Chain A
Amino acid sequence: MLHGFRQLILCALLLGGAYPVAADTVVSEHLTARLIAENAITQPGDTVTVALHQKMAPGWHTYWRNPGDSGQAPSLAWDLPQGVVVGEPHWPAPHRLPVGPLVNFGYSDETALLYDVTVPAGWPAGKPLALAADAEILVCAEICIPVSGRVALSVATAAVTEKDPANAALFAETRAEQPLPTPWPVQANAADGRFSLQLDGPQGDFSAVTGAYVFADVWGVLDHPAAQRIGIGGNGLSVHASLGEAGAGKTFSGVVTLYQGDGPARSFRIDDAPVGTAVATAMSGGVGESTAPAGVARLIVLALAGGLLLNLMPCVFPVLAMKALGLARQADAAASKRLIHGLAYCAGVIASFLALAGVLVALRAGGDAVGWGFQLQEPLVVGVLAYVCATVGLNLSGVFEIGGRLAGIGGAWTRGDGHASSFATGVLAAVVAAPCTAPFMATAIGGALLLPPLGALSVFAALGLGLALPYLVVSAVPGLAHRLPKPGPWMVRFKQFLAFPMYATAAWLIWVLSLQAGADAAFLATLGLIALALGVWVWAQPAANGAVVRGMRAALIVVALGGAAGLLGWASVQPGAGPDRRADSPIAERYTDARLAQYRNAGRTVFVNMTAAWCITCKVNERVALSGRGFEQLLARHDVAYLQGDWTNRDPEITRFLERFGRAGVPLYVVFPAGGGEARVLPQILKPDAVGDILASLASGRA
């Protein structure tokens, strides 16, 4: 370090490394800066655009107005003749410059800041206008060098204005790098350390976008190195970022850049967008380092619990009981054999859940607005599930056996080659579990679908593990299998009894089908079930002698099963949209975004209930908390508008609404307070006075 005044000056000069070459240029080892005018001559009263052109050495960069975590924006202290006005600089779209764990914003190679210089009207034409400025520009590579010096330019004036062809190319290039005005309505939101920017445009405008990044004009609004994720859906594109140390303030200004894979990036200018508080969460695609949300572990635990509870649901319980009975028969078999069957079952369950999750994730990544339960929004899938449940019921009733020559459920294992059948049983358990939801499951899945693909799949794998766990534990722990009741005649009766919950599940699925595709469809599907039962019964009859009888038998099977399939297909294309479900709740109005906005603008409290016919939790909640005279009176007393959204079939408007609150499935209960304010989301399992409590607390908060 040097001491002394003279050495101080010398040090500063050497550090600046700048020396005037010509009157208008600052040149240093890594940066050349000069002023360039777009016009060759300018008429007094007109405006001429002047560029501060910066050319950097390879590997060196200068900064944007918000330099990011470190660095400094170039500054010009103008020295102007009387009456000459220079506007604020127009900054080209910045680029991200990561430096280890930091991120800066700026330009490499070369860039130009544009200034609008207005020649006063009274300026004598022909007299040159001398512009000068003390420039301080920080240029960095791994180290930084502040360059300072004087840039100057003489602007010729005359009776006309003419552009300078020599500079045309540079100005064209520079203007092309300026962010465009945003063509879509913009909404910014900030809450809980998160920030989101919504561009409300048609989905087609964003079809090629693979990622985006929001640059705030000033330091501290956004966390610069944090990942920014995008979501593309029915109401356009949203970019999700993290707030910085200073927070967002009332309005947001900055630049948003949309990246398009190998294609050109597009940048748009955002000026004073008002900042609200309703931050949604993103779906897919990101720019920057990936940070796993802290909630994934919690979602996995929830999924495990949900999977465990699924075992108790009427759709799954028969399958589980069937497996357990098989175990009981096997109590004397080798422990390793039991364990293998347990593991095969577990693998079948997890593989099925992962496959289902994979389909869901792929559909959403493709922009499809589907959520959990999507498998039940297709009439054909619902019909097939009904067939599967009925078939399992028939098996339990003893109409037919699996595996032909092997008698009884346990037969396969004692022969030691039933691994495939255990795996298949696991798949079956997952399939029949698909229409059911257990507590915790909906939360876990809803959260999972908003994670990146790996996180989402982990949660689904945990769900499968939870479902398979009880059976796995019993098959693995030596003593437990022995504790199960010993096989006996009671077992056959129990097995036959278990058929009935399966039939009940099939009946429920036919009911869902009736709501989706009409009463005709339900009738056709039921006929199909009967044909299926017939075909299965014929197939299960012992092999007959005689070619004719055998031929008849085969024909009957084909006709019956073919008929079942055909009837189902016919049912699934029935157009009828079922009886209007909303009639069930005479006080509810059908949900649309427009209606919600209308009521909110009118200053009323709005209660939104997103439900679906196949959602059992929804039905239970509605029985417990959302029906009856007490509830009607509550709504009337608080002047609450009640909107009900039916997601039995696909409805992108409802899917978007769910996503706004970070959910991917139903039920969802939201109260929008009168007179604006943050929406309150109710828990998924409602207590009888849940809505009353919220309304009361809102009323008292206002009073």
Chain B
Amino acid sequence: MSNTSFLKSLVPSLALAAAISLAGATGAEAKPKVGEPAPSFSGVTADGKTVSLADLKGKTVVLEWTNKDCPYVHKHYGTENMQNLQRESKADHGVTWVSVISSAPGTQGYLEADEARANVNETKAAPDHVVLDGAGAVGRAYAAVTTPHMFIIDADGTLRFMGGIDNMPSASWGTVKGAKNYVRAALDDMAAGRDVAEAVTRPYGCSVKYGS
């Protein structure tokens, strides 16, 4: 056996050994945790601008995952519950409201920029930004699983609340009135300088339509 051919046969096997050594080490994604810095994100809005969490620092940010055709989102928009919450939060607490659409192209709730703007007008909603997250990057960063799914980030960038919008996980429109609204309660707690009493609640709704 000549030197070079042996060398050639050795190198791949050693490379394999080295590869096996490295193959085991892969990273794990961290899930968002209340009390820790909120995951950073960057997305394109329906107005064609790019917005990131860093840009919004200094004011309380509310993230609302939405899908206009989901019956649970219907419940909140049809009863004007969500629109009222948006206006109130902005007036009372100076919130920056970001609606996020993480439906992948071709799935329920996916909207192009002009469709998203039209939907905002039709529903008389009041978000400051509508992030078009068709690739699902922002959704995955926050482990958003349902529409609606709510997150509240304080002015320093710390996550203060995540989960369902209220305690009535039903699609019936009649369950909006009289439900305990966790987002409103959390914003009130934050304004009073208290810890958010119910900071992690069960998110309910349709599943976010991530692409494969």
* A interface residue numbers (CB < 8 A to B): 1-2, 8, 11-12, 15, 69-72, 75, 99-102, 104, 136, 138, 140, 142-146, 148, 219-220, 245-246, 291-294, 296-297, 299-300, 336-337, 339-340, 343-344, 346-347, 350, 354, 416-417, 419, 451, 454-455, 457-459, 461-462, 464-465
Contacts and interface: CB of A to CB of B under 8 A. Distances in A.
Contacts of B122: 1
Tell me which of A11, A146, A354, A417 has the highest count of chain B C-beta atoms within 10 A of its own C-beta. Answer: A146
Contacts of A339: 7
Given A350-B17, A454-B23, A8 B78 contact: yes
B172 A146 contact: yes
A143 B23 CA distance: 38
Contacts of A465: 17-18, 21
Interface of B: 1, 3, 6-7, 10-11, 13-14, 17-18, 20-28, 31, 68-72, 74, 77-78, 107-108, 119, 122-123, 140, 143, 145-146, 162-163, 169-173, 200, 202-212
A350 B10 CA distance: 12
A455 B24 contact: yes
A203 B194 CA distance: 52
A347 B13 contact: yes
Tell me which of B6, B25, B74, B204 has the highest count of chain A C-beta atoms within 10 A of its own C-beta. Answer: B25
A142 B210 CA distance: 11
A451 B14 contact: no
Tell me which of B123, B140, B170 has the highest count of chain A C-beta atoms within 10 A of its own C-beta. Answer: B170
Contact of A143 (B6, B69, B210): B69
Contact of B24 (A70, A75, A138, A296): A296
B167 to A, nearest CB: 12
B10 A458 contact: no
Nearest to B67: A143
25 contacts: A8-B78, A8-B173, A69-B207, A70-B203, A70-B207, A70-B208, A75-B170, A100-B207, A100-B208, A101-B143, A101-B210, A102-B207, A102-B208, A140-B207, A144-B72, A144-B207, A146-B172, A293-B28, A343-B11, A346-B14, A350-B14, A457-B20, A458-B22, A461-B17, A465-B17
B204 A300 contact: no
B23 A12 contact: no
Given A72-B171, A104-B207, A144-B71, A347 B10 contact: yes
Contacts of A457: 20
Nearest to B107: A142
Contact of B145 (A70, A246, A337, A458): A70
A459 B145 contact: no
Tell me which of B77, B78, B119 has the highest count of chain A C-beta atoms within 10 A of its own C-beta. Answer: B78
A328 B23 CA distance: 36
A70 B148 CA distance: 10
A246 B77 contact: no
B108 A146 contact: no
Contacts of A343: 7, 10-11, 14
A136 B10 CA distance: 66
A6 to B, nearest CB: 13
Contact of B6 (A296, A297, A340): A340
Given A99-B207, A297-B25, A300-B24, A15 B1 contact: no
B17 to A, nearest CB: 5
A95 to B, nearest CB: 16
Given A142-B108, A419-B1, A100 B24 contact: no
Given A15-B71, A144-B70, A336-B3, 16 more contacts: A2-B78, A8-B78, A69-B207, A104-B207, A138-B171, A146-B172, A219-B202, A296-B24, A297-B24, A300-B22, A300-B24, A347-B10, A350-B17, A451-B24, A458-B23, A461-B18
